[in-house]
């Protein structure tokens, strides 16, 4: 959107700073600029005109500070964008950023003062009109009942989308993660957030797991017959591990399809403490003995932490997206990332960074010696045919940084 089409609310107690922002925006021909000298004034202005596109907000202000104002804006359901401009230390800015997100404020940037036009313009370019954002919603507002989900499963409406895992040093595609999608006849493609937890809570997550495992195995076979050596990763709910029969059944399924277990990696996320630790450990140890890969997902968050590493025979450590995303700009996240990589190296685990979205993140990970990367920068999760076409396309574009020498068979066959 052009700046000339946008309205702004500047919340800043220092006169000079406030005037400077007004001048910059006026010079860029902003449609409308209003100002407030503290959070209280701003909150009142926002009640009068909630349609303001972008709020530029200082944090440290008298009467009502920026934190409280952003809380009010979030609670009032403000739909525009917010840009924090502050002279506070970067650790405080990081905390304010996290807080804004928790209050569902659409934060488009955090700028340390002094604000320059370049920084301002860059942040403003991230603003998207609220209508545009609405289309992204793939989860209907209403929650599904377990019966609706199970019906979808019976009707074979669930399938994996695949997202490539790429070797950071060579650019080779080494595998793909299977992510569940519900192809709903009325609502379109539905993401896991709308059904995983419900299936787990109703004790039916295994039904989805078997669908995902079978389809992922078939996919892996297809890719391998194309001459691309590739593994596949399937997400496994901890709930599924309560049944001690699981490992044997998984191994039998893979064997029936003539796939080597080493081609299958099971990714484990722990969102709650395990109820049946004994059974979980028995299953996981047996799976590892059978040759399956075991990945600790979302490492560094929730229960997915150090203690798990000491008792489960993992082969891979997946660093949570939040540390990857913030590593470029936030010191604390970078320290977490670096330490996680060090732990992986010392324990002889493959390290995977998830949620890689930018060249900067890719470069940093490469520099830090991370093994594998996954994320929108490389490719979004794709339905099976799109994934296969993507692989073929990759073989035709030899200059891509993800070029795969593994893909040579495609090139020579042409």
Q: Per rule CB under 6 A, is residue 212 in the interface with ligand C2E?
A: yes
Please choose, from the candidates 56, 70, 53, 65, the residue with its C-alpha nearest in 3D space to the C-alpha of residue 22: 56
Q: Per rule CB under 6 A, is residue 322 in the interface with ligand C2E?
A: no
Q: Which is nearer to ligand C2E, 61 or 379 (CB)?
A: 379
Residue 180 binding: pick among ligand C2E, Ca ion, none (C-beta 5-8 Å cut-off by kind) = ligand C2E
Considering the complex, what minimum distance in angstroms separates the CB of residue 51 from ligand C2E?
28
Count the neighbouring beta carbons within 10 Å of the beta carbon of residue 26: 11
Q: Tell me the window of 25-33, 34-42, 189-197, 364-372 that interacts with ligand C2E (CB under 6 A).
A: 189-197
Residues with catalytic roles? 354
Q: Per rule CB under 6 A, is residue 176 in the interface with ligand C2E?
A: no
Contacting ligand C2E (CB under 6 A), which of 146, 192, 221, 227?
192
Q: Per rule CB under 6 A, is residue 180 in the interface with ligand C2E?
A: yes
Q: Tell me the window of 11-19, 122-130, 298-306, 382-390 that interacts with Ca ion (CB under 5 A).
A: 298-306
Q: Per rule CB under 5 A, is residue 13 in the interface with Ca ion?
A: no
Q: Tell me the window of 11-19, 120-128, 188-196, 391-399 that interacts with ligand C2E (CB under 6 A).
A: 188-196
Distance CA 279, CA 298 (A): 22
Q: Which is nearer to Ca ion, 103 or 210 (CB)?
A: 210
Residue with tokens 């650790």, as numbered in its chain:
91
Q: Per rule CB under 6 A, is residue 146 in the interface with ligand C2E?
A: no
Task: Please list every residue from 214 through 273 that binds ligand C2E, using CB under 6 A.
Answer: 235, 237, 267, 269
Contacting ligand C2E (CB under 6 A), which of 256, 302, 376, 401?
376
Q: Which is nearer to ligand C2E, 124 or 180 (CB)?
A: 180
Contacting Ca ion (CB under 5 A), which of 13, 53, 298, 371?
298
Cα dihedral: 61, 66, 68, 71 (round 10) = 170
Task: Please list every residue from 21 through 40 that binds ligand C2E, using CB under 6 A.
Answer: none
Q: Which is nearer to Ca ion, 21 or 294 (CB)?
A: 294
Contacting Ca ion (CB under 5 A), which of 97, 200, 297, 371?
297
Q: Per rule CB under 5 A, is residue 267 in the interface with Ca ion?
A: yes
Q: Tell me the window of 86-94, 123-131, 205-213, 242-250 that interacts with ligand C2E (CB under 6 A).
A: 205-213
Cβ(190)–Cβ(139) below 8 Å: yes
- What 3 state SS string does the chain have? CCHHHCEEEEECCCHHHHHHHHHHHHHCCCCEEEEECCHHHHHHHHHHCCCCCEEEECCCCCCCCHHHHHHHHHHCCCCCEEEEEECCCHHHHHHHHHHHHHCCCEEEEEEECCCCHHHHHHHHCCCCCHHHHHCCCCCCCCCCCHHHHHHHHHCCCEEEEEEEEEECCCCCEEEEEEEEEEEECCCEEECHHHCHHHHHHCCCHHHHHHHHHHHHHHHHHHHHHCCCCCEEEEEEEHHHHHCCCHHHHHHHHHHHCCCCHHHEEEEEECCCCCCCHHHHHHHHHHHHHCCCEEEEEEECCCCCCHHHHHHCCCCEEEECHHHHHHHCCCHHHHHHHHHHHHHHHHCCCEEEECCCCCHHHHHHHHHCCCCEECCCCCCCCECHHHHHHHHHHHHHCCCCCCCCHHHHHHHHHC
Contacting ligand C2E (CB under 6 A), which of 343, 355, 390, 392?
355
Contacting ligand C2E (CB under 6 A), which of 39, 74, 175, 375?
375
Contacting ligand C2E (CB under 6 A), which of 357, 383, 392, 403?
357
Count the neighbouring beta carbons within 10 Å of the beta carbon of residue 21: 21
Q: Tell me the window of 117-125, 246-254, 340-348, 349-357 that interacts with ligand C2E (CB under 6 A).
A: 349-357
Q: Which residue is nearest to ligand C2E (CB)?
A: 375
Q: Which residues bind ligand C2E (CB under 6 A)?
A: 163, 179-180, 191-193, 196, 205, 208, 212, 235, 237, 267, 269, 297-298, 321, 354-357, 375-376, 381
Positions touching Ca ion (CB under 5 A) are 235, 267, 297-298, 354
């Amino acid at each position: 959107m052009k700046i000339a089409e946008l309205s702004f609310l500047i919340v800043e107690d220092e006169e000079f700073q406030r005037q400077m922002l007004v001048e910059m925006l006026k010079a860029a021909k902003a449609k409308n600029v209003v100002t407030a000298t503290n959070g209280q004034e701003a909150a009142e202005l926002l009640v009068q005109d909630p349609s303001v596109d972008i709020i530029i907000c200082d944090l440290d202000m008298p009467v009502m500070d920026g934190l409280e104002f952003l809380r009010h804006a979030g609670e009032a359901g403000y739909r525009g964008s917010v840009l924090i401009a502050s002279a506070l230390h970067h650790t405080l800015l990081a905390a304010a950023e996290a807080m804004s997100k928790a209050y569902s404020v659409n934060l488009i940037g955090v700028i340390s003062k002094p604000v320059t036009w370049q920084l301002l313009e860059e942040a403003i370019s991230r603003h998207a009109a609220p209508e545009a954002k609405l289309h992204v919603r793939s989860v209907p507002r209403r929650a599904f009942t377990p019966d609706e989900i199970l019906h979808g499963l019976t009707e074979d409406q669930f399938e994996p989308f695949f997202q490539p895992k790429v070797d950071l040093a060579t650019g080779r595609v080494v595998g793909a993660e299977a992510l569940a999608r519900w192809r709903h006849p009325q609502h379109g493609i539905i993401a896991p957030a709308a059904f995983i937890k419900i299936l787990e809570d109703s004790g039916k997550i295994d039904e989805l797991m078997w669908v995902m495992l079978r389809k992922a195995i078939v996919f892996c076979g297809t890719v391998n017959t194309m001459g691309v050596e590739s593994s596949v990763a399937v997400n496994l709910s901890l709930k599924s591990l309560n049944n001690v029969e699981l490992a044997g059944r998984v191994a039998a399924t893979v064997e029936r399809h003539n796939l080597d277990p080493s081609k299958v990696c099971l990714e484990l996320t722990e969102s709650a403490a395990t109820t049946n630790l004994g059974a979980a450990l028995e299953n996981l140890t047996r799976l590892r003995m059978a040759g399956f890969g075991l990945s600790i997902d979302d490492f560094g968050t929730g229960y997915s932490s150090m203690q798990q590493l000491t008792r489960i025979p993992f082969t891979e450590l997946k660093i949570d997206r939040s540390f990857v995303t913030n590593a470029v700009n936030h010191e604390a996240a970078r320290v977490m990332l670096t330490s996680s990589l060090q732990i992986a190296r010392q324990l002889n685990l493959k390290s995977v960074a998830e949620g890689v979205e930018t060249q900067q993140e890719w470069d940093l990970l490469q520099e830090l010696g991370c093994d594998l990367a996954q994320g929108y920068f490389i490719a979004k999760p794709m339905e099976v045919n799109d994934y296969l076409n993507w692989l073929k396309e990759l073989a035709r574009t030899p200059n891509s940084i993800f070029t795969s020498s593994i893909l040579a068979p495609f090139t020579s066959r042409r």
